Amino acid sequence: MNISLIRFIIAAVLIMIGILIMVIQTFGVFKLNYALNRMHAAAMGDSLGIMMIVLGMMVIYGISFASLKLLTVLVVFWFASPVCSHLLAKLEVSTNEQIEDECEVPKE
């Protein structure tokens, strides 16, 4: 086995794991009933799935400028996704009048 075949196998496994995580999180989004639970499943699945896919692509490209770009995209996504999820959760908590019936929410 040469090194390019090993890199291809590692990259394929990482990308397939990322796709599998994103498919599972899609089922979680449709299965869960409450909006905050759906949003949590989507945010966690996106972050982990994108990380695995980008790591697989970085293995394919090796140490290069393209890998640095992919790493930058991953870091930006990892900062932006939790912030967006938090803002959407706060919006849901502040606008839903029956939220106390659905779950326990501490008052600020």
pLDDT of the residue at 23: 94
For residue 46, what are the contacts with CB-CB under 8 A and spacing of at least 6? 22, 25, 81
pTM of the model: 0.81
Answer whether residue 90 shows pLDDT above 90: no
3-state secondary structure of 104: coil
Q: What is the pLDDT of residues 24-64, one digit of tens each?
A: 999 988 888 887 888 888 888 888 999 999 999 999 998 89
Q: What is the pLDDT of residues 8-35, one digit of tens each?
A: 999 999 999 999 999 999 998 888 888 7
Distance CA 65, CA 48 (A): 23
